[in-house]
Chains A and B, each alone.
Chain A
Amino acid sequence: MTAADTIHPLELSVLAHGVAMIAEEMGAVLVRGALSPNIRERRDASCAVFDAGGRMIAQAAHIPVHLGAMPESVAAVRARRPQPGDVFLLNDPYHGGSHLPDLTLVEAVDMGGVIGGYTAVRAHHADVGGMSPGSMPQGATELVQEGLIVPPIRLVRAGALDEELLAFILANVRTPAERRGDLGAQLAACANGATAWRAFSARLGAARLTAACDALLDYAERRVRARLAPLEGRTGRAEDVLEGDGVTDADIPVRVALAVRNGSLHLDFSGSSPQVAGNVNTPAAVTRAAAVFALRTLLDDDVPTNDGIARAISLVLPARSAVNAAWPAAVAAGNVEMSQRMADTILAAFGDAGVDVAAQGQGTMNNVTFGGAGWTFYETLGGGQGASSKGAAPSGVHVGMSNTLNTPVESLERSTQLRIDRYALRDGSGGAGAHRGGDGVIRAYRATAPCTVTLLTERRRHSPRGVAGGGAGATGRNLLNNTPLPAKCRVVLKAGDVVTIETPGGGGYGPVS
C-alpha cells in the first residue's frame, strides 16, 4: 500500500483529470453566465485553481495569452493578507494584472476557517472606462488613460459582496449592466471552483492533498524536462520588431537569447527596447505567457497546464523595458500585439538553436474597432500560419496568442451599420517554399452611415519570416477606398467609405524545389 502522504505514478492520471475537471467546470459556469459576446462566444477568458501556497494546480485556457499569467494575480492577492472566503478583484498590470480590460477575480477558498487554496477567473471585459470605448485607446501614453485601474481589492469580504465598491467600479465603465453580469458570472465560477476544490481536498485528506499537488507539479515539470533533455546545451538568438507604438512609427526591437541549460529553458530579453511612450508595452506576466506558449508548442497537447511548466523556464527581463514595463506605462495594446511578437521571437530563437520550428505566422491579431451612433463593433482577423517541416501551413486562422472566432457576415450586418463587400482568402500571400506559408484574408467593410474605425495592426512593414530557406509571407495592408492607411490609426468614415484589411501571410518552409 501507498504511504499516507505519497502519490504513486498510478494515481497521477486520475488526479490530473480531477483538477483539470475543476478548472473546466469553472469555465462552463463562466461561459454559461456571462453576458458579453467576448466571453460567451469568443471565450476570451481563463479559469485556474491554486493550492494554499499559491501554486497553480490547473488552468483551463481558451486563449494562450492567459497561459501561466495568473499565478502573479494570486501572489498579489496573498500579499494583501486575504481571509478565508474573501474574493479579490484586480486588473492593475503592475499588481497581478495583464491589461486593464482583463478583470481577474481571486477567491481565497474557505476550508474550515483556513485558506485551503485559491480559485481565479480572468475575463476580457468589453469596456473598463478610459478615454475610448473598449478601453484599448489608440495613442494612450499613460495607464490611467486606458481605464479604471483596480489594484487587488476585496470585492467580497468573508462571503459578503461589497455593493458600494461594486457601484463605484460600475460608475466608471461605459456598460455597467453588462459588466455587473459578467462579474457575477466570474463570481459564480470562482465559487463553483471553490466548492469543487473543497470536495477534491476532502476526498484526499489534508496530508495527501499537499502530496498530490507536489506530485502534479513534479509530473508536468518532468514532462517538460523530458522534452528539453535532447536540447541540452543548445543556444540561439533572435531579434524582431514591433512597427511603432501608436505614437510614433519607430521600430521597437525585441531581442531574445535562448539557452537550454541544466534541463531548463533560459530566455534573456536583454537588449529589447526600453519601455515606449505608446501602449504596446507589457508587464512581465504577459511576457511569461508568451514564453509558456512558445514552449508549449514543442510539447504534447496533454501536458497538464500548471506551475510545473514554469519551473522549467527562467526569464531575464530588463527593468523598465517594453517587455517588462513599470508604472505608469500604458499597456493595453501590448497584450494583443507585443505578446505576439515575443512568441514569434522566442520561436525564432528556438529555430536559431537548431530546433525544428514552424516559420512565422501572421504575427498580429488585426484588431478592428468600428463605432457609430448607438453601436460599437470589435473583431480580430485571422491570417496565414507559418509552414513547417510537416507541411504547408493553414490559411486564414488566428496564430500565436489568440484563437477567437470570426463574426459571421450575416450577424455583423444585422447588428452594425456596415456591409461586408468581400471576405476571402488572400491568394499568394503565404511565403513560398517547399511547404507554402498560409494565406492571409481580405475583409472589406463598407460604412452605410457615418462612423469611426480604429485599427491596431502589425506586420504592415516587416514580413513574417520563412524558415530553412522558405520565403517570407506578404505584409498586411490597410486601405481606405484603395488608399493605404497606417498600421495603427483612427479614421472618421462617411457613408459609402470602404475599409479593406488584408492580413499577412505566413512564412514558407524550405527552398522551392
Chain B
Amino acid sequence: MGVTALSVGIDVGGTYTDLVAVDANGCVTTRKIPSTPSDQSEGVAVALQLLGGEPVSRFVHGTTVATNMLLERAGARVALVATAGFTDVLHLARQDRASLYDLSRHHPPPLVARDHTVGACERVVPEGVHIALTDEAIDSVVERVRTLAPDVVAISLLHSYVDATHEQVLATALRIAMPGLEVVLSSEVFPEIREYERTATTVAEAYLRPGVSRYLERLTVRAHSLGVPAPGVMTSGGGMRTVAQAARGAASLALSGPAGGVVGAAAALRAAGFLSALTVDIGGTSADVGLVLDGEPLVEPGGRVAGVPIALPRVLVETVSAGGGSIGWIDDGGALRVGPRSAGAVPGPAAFGRGGTLPTVTDAHVVLGHITASSFSGGVEMDVRAAHHAINDLARGLDADADRVARAMLDIADASVARALRRVSVERGVSPRECVLVPFGGGGPLHACGLADQLSIQTIFVPPHAGVLSALGLAITPERRERMISLLTHASALDRVALSAALTRASAGVADGVEWRRSWTARMRYVGQGHELDVAVHHGEDGAAIAERFAALHQQRNGFTLESRTEVIGIRHVAAGEAHRVSFSRDGLSAWDPERAVDDGRSFEALLAGPAVVTLAGATLRIAVGWTGQPHSTGGWLLTRDGNLP
C-alpha cells in the first residue's frame, strides 16, 4: 500500500483532547488524552505525535476561539454605522426582558457601545431609496468614524437587504478615507429582513474578525512546525472551511463547537441505515442535544452565543447543564437536585481524585458500579472511595442510602436532558417515539437507556467511536462554502427563468471552477408570517413547484397549511466538496469475554440482557434492565427494548 494520507480531526474539550485519523481507505484510528487548558496546542501536538509520524493530508479542528471571544467580550473595538434615528438598534434588541421574574437582570451587553454608533442620514424603504445619501451625509459619517478610530466598522442600514447601494457607497468612502480599515456590510454578511438580527450578526462578524484571523494565522504557523497542513475549521453550519475562507466568515465559527458531533452521528446513522434520530452528547459539564432528519443534521438559523444572536445557519444543538460533573444538592424545599452547577474538569468529580469533594453524576455512576474500570479513559485515575464519600455525605441529608441517592441523581439528570430532547423534536413536528436515540460523548452511552425510557424510544444506536464522535465528524466533514441573497418576492411571480437566474446569482463566485456538489434552498414563508422554512430548490423549477414543497414541509413541521400566498425572502447556496470516506465496520474476529466486557472493535457475537456494562473505547455503555444490546456491524451497538411500550 502506498502513502496513506490521513485526514485528522481534533476536538479540544475541557477535560479531554480527542483525535481521530481516517486513512485513504476509511480506516479509523482514535486517541484520547487529557487536555492542556493553559495552552491548547500543546495537547494537539501530543495527540499528533501519537500518530507516529504518518503523513497528514488534512487537519480539521473544532475551535472555541470565536465562542470564547464572545463569552469574554474580548473582541475588536467596533463602530456601527446605522440609519440616523435607529442607531440604538442593538440596545433596543427585541424589547423582551432577560428574566421574567428577576427584575434586575440585564441582557448581556451589545458588542458595540452606544457612543460608538454613528447615524447616517439616508433612508431606504421596502420600495427602494427614499432619502438619498448626500455627500455631506457621507462626509459626516467618515469624520465621525475617523474620530472614533475603531478597529473595524460595521455598516447596517434599514432595508439594505432590498437595496445595498448606500452601504456600499459608505464602505467605499470609508476605505478611501482610511486605507486598511476593515469594513463589514450587513448586505454581505447576512442580507435578510429584520434589522436587529441582521445588525447583530454583522457586528458579531466585525467584532470577531481580527481576533479570529490572528488565531488562524498562529495555528497555521504551529501546524507547519508540527509538519501538518494548514488546519481547516468547522463552521456552525457543519461544514469545513480553510483558514483563508474562515477569516472572512468569523461569525460562522461561533457555534462550531458542538456541530462536529452531530455531523459524525449523521454519518454513522446513514451507515447503519437509520434516517431520523435524536442525538445526545454528554460530556463533563453539559449535554448537547441535536436532531438528524433524513440522514442529515438539522441546520437552522437562529443561534445565540453569550446573548448575541447570530442568525447564520447552524447545526441545531440545544445545550443543557447536565453532564458528568453536575453536582447533586438539596434545595430549600427539601428536594434532591442535580446541576446546573458543575465541578467541571477541575476539581472535577470526587472520583477524579483531583480534590473534588462534591457529589457529581460521575460519582453516582461509580457508586452504582456503572464505571468499573480502574481508571477513566485518558489516564485519569479513579478514586472509588472519594466517590462513595461524596455521595454518602449527600445521602445523610436525605434519609436514604447511597445507592438510592445515586440512582435518583441519574434519574434527575436524565429527566432534564429528556425534556430538552422532547423540546427540540416536538417543536419541529417530530415525535421522539419515532426516532432512534444516538448517544455519544464519554457519558452519552451511560445515560441512553434512562433517556429512552423517559421518551418512549424503542431503539438506541450507539455509534462507533462514540467517545470521540465529534473529532470523527471533524475528520470527515466536507469543505463547504455558502452564500445567500435576498429576494423578497411572491413565489407565484417566479417562473423558471426568473428562479433559475436567482439561483445563478446566489452561486456567483462561490467555489468557481470546482466540481463540487451544489445545492440551493429557498427561505420561504406565508405572507404575514415572521418565521421562514428552508425549502430545497433546483435549476429548472418554478415558483409553483417550490410553493408546493413549502406547503408539504409546513404541514410536516407545523401541522397545517394556509390558503395565503407564499413568498421567498432569499436564496441560500451551498457548495460542498466530497466527504472523506470512512469505513464503519468491525475488522477481524474476537471472542466476547463476559467477565471483562470490553468491546475491542473487532467482530464478535454477544447478546446482553440488561443490566450490563460494556467498556467502549473512550466511553462506557450501560444496558439497563428491560433492554437487550448487541454489537452492530458498523462497530457500534444496537439496543432494543424488551417488549413494546404501552
Cα-based distance from A11 to B411 in the complex (angstroms): 9
Instruction: List, in ascending order, chain B residues with CB within 8 A of A185's CB.
Output: 559-560
- Partner of A406 from B94, B101, B338, B528 at Cβ < 8 Å: B94
A278 → B minimal CB distance (Å): 27
Cα-based distance from A417 to B91 in the complex (angstroms): 26
Of A131-139, A204-212, A220-228, the segment with at least 4 beta carbons within 8 Å of chain B is: A220-228
- Whether A311 is near chain B, meaning CB under 8 Å from some CB there, is no
Instruction: List, in ascending order, chain A residues with CB within 8 A of B558's CB.
Output: 32-33
- Whether A478 is near chain B, meaning CB under 8 Å from some CB there, is no
Question: Which residues in chain A, 369-412, are within 8 Å of chain B measured between CB atoms?
Answer: 381-382, 385-386, 388, 390-391, 393-399, 403-406, 408-411
Contact A297 B337 (CB under 8 A): no
Instruction: List, in ascending order, chain A residues with CB within 8 A of B101's CB.
Output: 293, 296-297, 299, 301
Of B271-279, B413-421, B436-444, the segment with at least 4 beta carbons within 8 Å of chain A is: B413-421
- Partner of A32 from B415, B419, B429 at Cβ < 8 Å: B429
- Whether B193 is near chain A, meaning CB under 8 Å from some CB there, is yes
Contact B95 A35 (CB under 8 A): no
- Whether B125 is near chain A, meaning CB under 8 Å from some CB there, is yes
- Whether A462 is near chain B, meaning CB under 8 Å from some CB there, is no
Closest 10 CB pairs of A and B: A17-B415, A382-B95, A10-B408, A12-B335, A223-B333, A422-B85, A390-B104, A397-B97, A406-B95, A226-B332
Question: Which residues in chain B, 309-366, are within 8 Å of chain A measured between CB atoms?
Answer: 330-338
- Whether B195 is near chain A, meaning CB under 8 Å from some CB there, is yes
Helix, strand, loop or mixed for chain B's interface? loop
Contact A9 B336 (CB under 8 A): yes
A59 → B minimal CB distance (Å): 12
Contact A411 B193 (CB under 8 A): yes
Contact B405 A10 (CB under 8 A): yes
A381 → B minimal CB distance (Å): 7
Contact B95 A184 (CB under 8 A): no
- Whether A29 is near chain B, meaning CB under 8 Å from some CB there, is yes
B interface, CB within 8 angstroms of A:
85-89, 91-107, 114, 125-126, 158-159, 161, 193-196, 330-338, 398, 400, 404-405, 408, 411-412, 415-416, 418-419, 422-423, 426-427, 429, 456, 528-531, 557-560, 562-563, 646
Cα-based distance from A11 to B404 in the complex (angstroms): 10
- Partner of A35 from B158, B194, B429, B562 at Cβ < 8 Å: B562
A interface, CB within 8 angstroms of B:
8-14, 16-18, 20-21, 24-25, 28-29, 31-33, 35, 37, 40-41, 61, 64, 177, 181, 184-185, 188, 199, 202, 219-220, 222-223, 226-227, 293, 296-297, 299, 301, 303, 358, 361, 381-382, 385-386, 388, 390-391, 393-399, 403-406, 408-411, 413-415, 419, 421-425, 441
Contact B88 A423 (CB under 8 A): yes
Instruction: List, in ascending order, chain B residues with CB within 8 A of A14's CB.
Output: 408, 411-412, 415
Instruction: List, in ascending order, chain A residues with CB within 8 A of B194's CB.
Output: 408, 410-411
Instruction: List, in ascending order, chain B residues with CB within 8 A of A397's CB.
Output: 95-98
The answer to whether A222 and B334 touch (CB under 8 A), given A37-B530, A423-B92, is: yes
Contact A13 B92 (CB under 8 A): no
Instruction: List, in ascending order, chain B residues with CB within 8 A of A223's CB.
Output: 331-333
Cα-based distance from A188 to B387 in the complex (angstroms): 47
Cα-based distance from A18 to B159 in the complex (angstroms): 45
Cα-based distance from A138 to B404 in the complex (angstroms): 61
Instruction: List, in ascending order, chain A residues with CB within 8 A of B93's CB.
Output: 396
Cα-based distance from A390 to B102 in the complex (angstroms): 11
Contact A405 B94 (CB under 8 A): yes
Contact B96 A391 (CB under 8 A): no
Instruction: List, in ascending order, chain B residues with CB within 8 A of A24's CB.
Output: 419, 422-423
Contact A419 B125 (CB under 8 A): yes
Cα-based distance from A70 to B5 in the complex (angstroms): 65
Max chain A Cβ within 10 angstroms of own Cβ: one of B97, B194, B334, B562: B97
Contact A424 B337 (CB under 8 A): no
B112 → A minimal CB distance (Å): 14
Cα-based distance from A398 to B98 in the complex (angstroms): 10
Cα-based distance from A494 to B503 in the complex (angstroms): 42
Instruction: List, in ascending order, chain A residues with CB within 8 A of B161's CB.
Output: 410
The answer to whether A32 and B531 touch (CB under 8 A), given A25-B422, A408-B196, A410-B158, is: no
A444 → B minimal CB distance (Å): 8
Cα-based distance from A25 to B421 in the complex (angstroms): 11
- Chain A, Cβ-Cβ closest to B159: A410
The answer to whether A184 and B333 touch (CB under 8 A), given A410-B193, A410-B195, A413-B126, is: no
Max chain B Cβ within 10 angstroms of own Cβ: one of A25, A177, A381: A25
Max chain B Cβ within 10 angstroms of own Cβ: one of A10, A185, A381, A415: A10
Instruction: List, in ascending order, chain A residues with CB within 8 A of B100's CB.
Output: 61, 64, 296, 301, 403
- Other A-B pairs beyond A28-B423, A181-B562, A397-B95, 19, CB < 8 Å: A9-B330, A10-B404, A12-B334, A13-B335, A17-B412, A21-B419, A41-B531, A185-B559, A188-B559, A293-B101, A299-B101, A303-B333, A394-B106, A396-B92, A406-B95, A413-B159, A414-B193, A425-B114, A441-B95
Cα-based distance from A404 to B100 in the complex (angstroms): 11
Instruction: List, in ascending order, chain B residues with CB within 8 A of A64's CB.
Output: 100
A119 → B minimal CB distance (Å): 15
Instruction: List, in ascending order, chain A residues with CB within 8 A of B456's CB.
Output: 199
Contact B415 A12 (CB under 8 A): no
Contact B126 A361 (CB under 8 A): no
Contact A425 B531 (CB under 8 A): no
B229 → A minimal CB distance (Å): 43
A325 → B minimal CB distance (Å): 26
- Chain B, Cβ-Cβ closest to A18: B415
- Chain A, Cβ-Cβ closest to B426: A28
A247 → B minimal CB distance (Å): 30
Q: Offer 14 A-B interface pairs, CB within 8 angstroms, sorted by A.
A: A9-B398, A10-B408, A12-B333, A13-B336, A28-B427, A32-B557, A33-B558, A184-B560, A397-B95, A397-B97, A405-B96, A406-B94, A415-B528, A419-B125
